[in-house]
Amino acid sequence: MKFYGLKTCDTCRKAFKALTAAGHAPDYVDVRADGVSADSLSVFLDAFGAEALINRKSTTWRGLDDAERAQDPLTLLQANPTLMKRPVIETDTGRYLGWGKDVQDVLL
């Protein structure tokens, strides 16, 4: 299991703690400190779509100008990995976005 999140994100901390308590041993990838490969971002964009993957409510998004916001989603996420909605969790059986009840029901 691979867990993409931010160490400073409350939702990511709750999700990681719950997964660990449930017996999983996720490999934590801090999107700010470690970065996310272009290949992984492409896979996430294919799996979830740009509308779901890009967090347009974030302070990072609000700090971008119109030209930056108009960039190709892959380019935008490579330059600003914290724009990615979190967490993204990869398992052998699938990929999951966020930490809603639907994701918790599958993974816990």
* Confidence (pLDDT) at 42: 96
Q: How many CB atoms lie within 10 A of CB 11?
A: 15
Q: For position 64, what pLDDT does the model report?
A: 95
Return d(Cα 37, Cα 44) in angstroms, integer: 11
For 52-86, how does the pLDDT look when each residue is reduced to its tens digit (9 = 90+)? Answer: 999 999 899 999 999 999 999 999 999 999 999 99
Q: What is the CATH number of domain 2-107?
A: 3.40.30.10
Identified catalytic residue from 6, 9, 15, 29: 9
For the entire predicted model, the pTM comes to 0.92
Q: Which pLDDT belongs to residue 97? A: 98
- Active-site annotation holds for 9: yes
Question: pLDDT digits over 17-47, tens only?
Answer: 999 999 999 999 999 999 999 999 999 999 9
The total number of residues shown for the chain amounts to: 108
Extents of the domains making up the chain? 2-107
